[in-house]
Amino acid sequence: MSDFFPNIPKIKYEGPDSDNPFAFKHYNPDEVVAGKSMRDHLRFAAPYWHVMRNPLGDPFGEGTALTPWDDGSDSLDNALARVPVFFEFLEKIDIDLYCFHDRDISPEGKSLGETHEMFGRVVEEFEKFQKETGKGLLWGTACLFGHPRYAHGAATSPSADVYAYAASQVKHALEATHRLGGTGYVFWGGREGYGALINTDMKRELDHLARFLHLAVDHAKKIGFEGQFFIEPKPREPTTHQYDSDAAACLNFLRQYDLLDHFQLNIETNHATLAGHTMQHELQTAIAAGALGSIDANRGDELLGWDTDQFPTNIYETTSVMIEVLRMGGFTKGGLNFDAKRRRESHEPEDLFHAHIGGMDAFARGLKIAAKIIEDGKFASFIKERYASFDSGIGAQVETGEVSLDSLDAHALSIEAPSLRSGRQEYLENLLNSYL
């Protein structure tokens, strides 16, 4: 294997007492928690776009990332040269899975034909490295938001030719995902939304988007791709309003257009924050519809109002995420993809490792705490007790649909006025803290 990170050892578990910054303190991949290894529970994935292609620029300044392996060009050779670097990274950080957009791994050519040809060549290289290292693809996707042709959207563009270009990209990205054994394929809105309603036919755009997703489902069937389709909610940015706004909006869209059997949600923490929801709210919304598939594990910043894509470090939050994941019975075709980047000031290759080690340890702790909380069952029994009046009598009749306003009226008149019961929020918050 090559040595693009010469000063970084393979990251191993050393336990909470270790002061080695290049070691896991909590993530112990083979340790069994709640019946499964941590590796299998957490299914960590690294995103090619942030690890390999993010120059760490911001709207006020150019990129700072040091990437000595990259010649800075948009050539096929450079695209091929990045592949071994990425796989060395995966090996050293001990992450089994990855995700990509077509245009992060391979450049735009002079024609669409050339673009596809180069993409095919790079995918071949990924296939080779997957075989050599045993790493796998969590999900693939097409970048339908970077190129100027998609300024007005891709599947929601007012131009049918742009729509066809986008479809062409999805066809090839889907086939590549299939070839690389990807367990999923993601649609994130990108520019599917609007900048202004004054020039937008929203209903028509939504119809086109739904048709587009159906075409992908049909093509998957045709080529035998059995991976899971995911849609990733985000309320805004880059558009003023994204059609995949939040979990509830996505579910409504999928239901309306008869797509719910084919899609699950990929929930991103930072997008939940931008939508004005907690991550736990978005996860519960998806789970209630039987549609939680995968997670983009990052976080936002309390003081900055955009998708800062920071690494997860908050144990409260990772605990709440893992409680939902465990309650749902774990991931099947999804996983925890760190859709996260280093800060612009953390520009050295070693910072990539500190960032991922931190995120992995934060989720390992979240997993262990969540498993203990679920095993003890204190929260579950509190909540069960809180709704106990629906377990029998008139409450049970409400749930089975055996009531009417008349019968509820009669019941209400026959009883003493209900007394107020405490929700015990502060007691429960104290209880939660006792696990951290």
- Name which of ligand XLS, Ni ion, none residue 141 binds, using a CB cut-off of 5 to 8 Å depending on partner kind: ligand XLS
Among 246, 307, 324, 361, binds Ni ion (CB under 5 A): 307
- What letter does residue 196 receive in the DSSP assignment? -
Closest approach, Cβ 339 to ligand XLS, in A, equals 5
Nearer to ligand XLS, 94 or 104 (CB): 104
Q: Segment contacting Ni ion (CB under 5 A): 197-205, 303-311, 351-359, 391-399?
A: 303-311
Examine residue 317 and tell whether it contacts Ni ion (CB under 5 A). no
DSSP 38-62: HHHHH-EEEEHHHHHH----BTTB-
| Binding interface with ligand XLS (CB under 6 A) | 101, 141, 186, 188, 232, 234, 268, 296, 307, 339
C-alpha distances in angstroms, 120 versus 35, 71, 366? 40, 21, 39
- Name which of ligand XLS, Ni ion, none residue 186 binds, using a CB cut-off of 5 to 8 Å depending on partner kind: ligand XLS
- Whole-number Å distance between alpha carbons of 190 and 179: 24
- Whole-number Å distance between alpha carbons of 112 and 123: 16
- Name which of ligand XLS, Ni ion, none residue 41 binds, using a CB cut-off of 5 to 8 Å depending on partner kind: none
Nearer to Ni ion, 118 or 295 (CB): 295
C-alpha distances in angstroms, 242 versus 123, 184, 191, 227, 272? 30, 22, 7, 25, 13
Instruction: Using CA atoms of 54, 46, 26, 326 in order, give the dihedral in degrees to the nearest 10.
Output: 130
Which residues, 338 to 357, sit near Ni ion by CB under 5 A? 339
Closest approach, Cβ 42 to ligand XLS, in A, equals 18
Closest approach, Cβ 141 to ligand XLS, in A, equals 5
Closest approach, Cβ 44 to ligand XLS, in A, equals 15
Q: Segment contacting Ni ion (CB under 5 A): 190-198, 332-340, 357-365, 379-387?
A: 332-340
- Whole-number Å distance between alpha carbons of 152 and 86: 32
Nearer to ligand XLS, 47 or 84 (CB): 47
- Whole-number Å distance between alpha carbons of 164 and 21: 49
26 noted as active-site residue: no
Nearer to ligand XLS, 104 or 125 (CB): 104
From the list 50, 101, 208, 356, the catalytic residue is 101
Nearer to Ni ion, 123 or 295 (CB): 295
**Size of the chain, expressed as the number of residues it contains:** 436
C-alpha distances in angstroms, 302 versus 9, 73, 279, 310? 34, 36, 14, 11
- Whole-number Å distance between alpha carbons of 23 and 237: 36
- Name which of Ni ion, ligand XLS, none residue 46 binds, using a CB cut-off of 5 to 8 Å depending on partner kind: none
Number of neighbours of residue 146 by Cβ within 10 angstroms: 14
281 noted as active-site residue: no
User: Contact residues for Ni ion (CB under 5 A)?
Assistant: 268, 296, 307, 339
Q: Catalytic residues, which ones?
A: 101, 104
